[in-house]
Structure 1
Amino acid sequence: MMLRRIDAVVPAHDEEDLVGASIDALLVAGAVVLAHRPGLEVGVVIVLDDCRDDTARIVRERLARGWEPGAGGVVVSVTERSVGAARGAGVAAALQLGDAADDERWIANSDADSRVPADWFVAHMAAFDAGVDVLLGTVRPDFDEFSERDVQHWLATHPAGHLPGNVHGANLGVRADRLRQLGGFGAMPEHEDVDLVARARAAGLRIVPTLDGMVTTSARRRGRTPGGYAAFLAAEYPLAASS
């Protein structure tokens, strides 16, 4: 089966400080994957979830900068205050774009406080080509927001080649037909990514972790959900929790 379309789905709730850089990185990654496979359709769906700050304006301005031929950006607005519901709305919108069949599509998930690398779409495309159903991408905190001590601790606990296989919504890919088979993301306030992967495991799908296309995410200690990545960082790096 040939991959015909890949879409990034990115929920955003009051991310005016970070969403611009997130979209800029996605635009670069979109151009890179099109250079690898010119006929591929590439898109980004940004889901504005009850945004009360300047996120919506920034998103629309960044997407208006344009895409390479064959790519495009879509904005969806919801008022769920739920990352699972927002991600689900983004997936639903993505599946309406283009005319590719579900088994020719890939949904690459990220977050509005994260920056994908230039080869991010390429890594997800390669997973589809390799017959992967669910790709568990890796993330690392933004070292610019870490103290030197925290950076060293991170490097010591994440040595080169270390493949933890954790689940991160900021870097999670799913073949579209498998996502539909699983019933999509649950409308949950957090851990919708972990829930989806648990159901994928129960269904016997092929789940593969990778270090390719590692995403850089905010190192803030207070996030948009009470038990997300920010909570992990606050617990693991308490000396910098005041940032």
Structure 2
Amino acid sequence: MVVVPVRDEERLLGRCLAAVGRAAARARAARPSVRVDVVVALDRCTDGSARIAAAAGAVVVAGSWGTAGAARAAAVQAAGAAGERTWIVSTDADSAVPAHWLTGHLHAARGGAELLLGTVEPDPRDLPPSVLERWHALHRLEEGHPHVHAANLGVRADVYAACGGFRAVPHGEDVLLAETARGRGHRVLATDRVRVLTSGRSTGRAERGFAGYLRALAGRREPLGTGPG
């Protein structure tokens, strides 16, 4: 199952869900027994996001959760994901996954991974070349990378439950899940093989999210850290 939290994303949600749809079609073609449910959690949306999600055939849940973590958790709960045979995959409404995204996640799960941490890359069309260069200088797009991004994260459903799921924190619900999984000794795979394109916008939905990091990166000559993930 794929979970997508949404807060007024009518401009980019269609691209996101179309990309997820292509990935789902490839996964079903590769393994006809695979079922892919896409659940969109609309968090206090006032724009056309609900119409776009419904037109894409997604399962839609709506609420007033206030954080991406709580919205992700609500999407997982709505789908009733459970057990060792269910793989939960998370992305963001401003992201576009590659066509091999789900087949890559499923291949990793079959290989024994219990949690997958994928990479993301900002859309170069959204950033000045100097900012994009700084971002790449600080991020390792390679196997065994140190980053955690909810826009490209997969986890086995029973492991998700055992680790407390996505928590209703202001930010970093993905990092908390990964840290808990590692602390419990679960098999965590950090890979660049299913890289996701994400928006390079400087104004986002989470105060300390990816957009805020890019905004800070644009405003400093020598970034001090690697930002979210």
Instruction: Decide: shared fold, TM above 0.5.
Output: yes
In structure 2, the CA distance between the partners of 1:162 and 1:221, relative to structure 1 (3 Å rule), is farther
Among 11, 18, 21, which residue is 2:12 paired with? 18
Q: Which residue pairs with 2:150 in the alignment?
A: 169
Q: Which residue pairs with 2:61 in the alignment?
A: 76
Deviations 1:117-149 (A, max 9, x none): 100001110111011111001000011112233
Among 87, 91, 95, which residue is 1:114 paired with? 95
SS at match of 1:81: coil
Among 31, 43, 46, which residue is 2:40 paired with? 46
| Counterpart AA for 1:35 | A
Deviations 1:82-112 (A, max 9, x none): 111111011112225xxxx611010000011
In structure 2, the CA distance between the partners of 1:109 and 1:203, relative to structure 1 (3 Å rule), is same
8 Å CA contact retained: 2:141, 2:192: no
In structure 2, the CA distance between the partners of 1:82 and 1:157, relative to structure 1 (3 Å rule), is closer
8 Å CA contact retained: 2:119, 2:141: no
Q: Which residue pairs with 1:70 in the alignment?
A: none
Q: Which moved more, 1:143-152 or 1:109-118?
A: 143-152
SS at match of 1:41: coil
8 Å CA contact retained: 2:135, 2:217: no
In structure 2, the CA distance between the partners of 1:183 and 1:161, relative to structure 1 (3 Å rule), is closer
Q: Which moved more, 1:196-205 or 1:110-119?
A: 196-205
SS at match of 1:87: helix
Q: Which moved more, 1:179-188 or 1:142-151?
A: 142-151
1:144-223 counterparts in 2 under 5 A?
A: 144-158=125-139, 161=142, 163-223=144-204
Question: Using the alignment, how far apart are the partners of 1:148 and 1:84 within structure 2?
Answer: 31
Identity %: 42
Q: Which residue pairs with 2:104 in the alignment?
A: 123
TM-score by length of 1: 0.85
Question: Using the alignment, how far apart are the partners of 2:129 and 2:173 within structure 1?
Answer: 32
In structure 2, the CA distance between the partners of 1:139 and 1:40, relative to structure 1 (3 Å rule), is same
SS at match of 1:190: coil
Q: How many residues align?
A: 220
In structure 2, the CA distance between the partners of 1:235 and 1:129, relative to structure 1 (3 Å rule), is same
Deviations 1:50-86 (A, max 9, x none): 10111111211222xxxxxxxxx31111111111111
TM-score by length of 2: 0.90
8 Å CA contact retained: 1:9, 1:94: no
Deviation at 1:156, TM superposition (A): 4.6
- Residue ranges of structure 2 left out of the alignment (5+ in a row): 221-229
| Counterpart AA for 2:165 | G
Question: Using the alignment, how far apart are the partners of 1:160 and 1:90 within structure 2?
Answer: 29
Q: Which residue pairs with 2:118 in the alignment?
A: 137
Deviations 1:25-58 (A, max 9, x none): 0000000111111111111111111101111112
- Residue ranges of structure 1 left out of the alignment (5+ in a row): 1-6, 64-72
- Residue 232 in structure 1 maps to residue 226 in structure 2: no
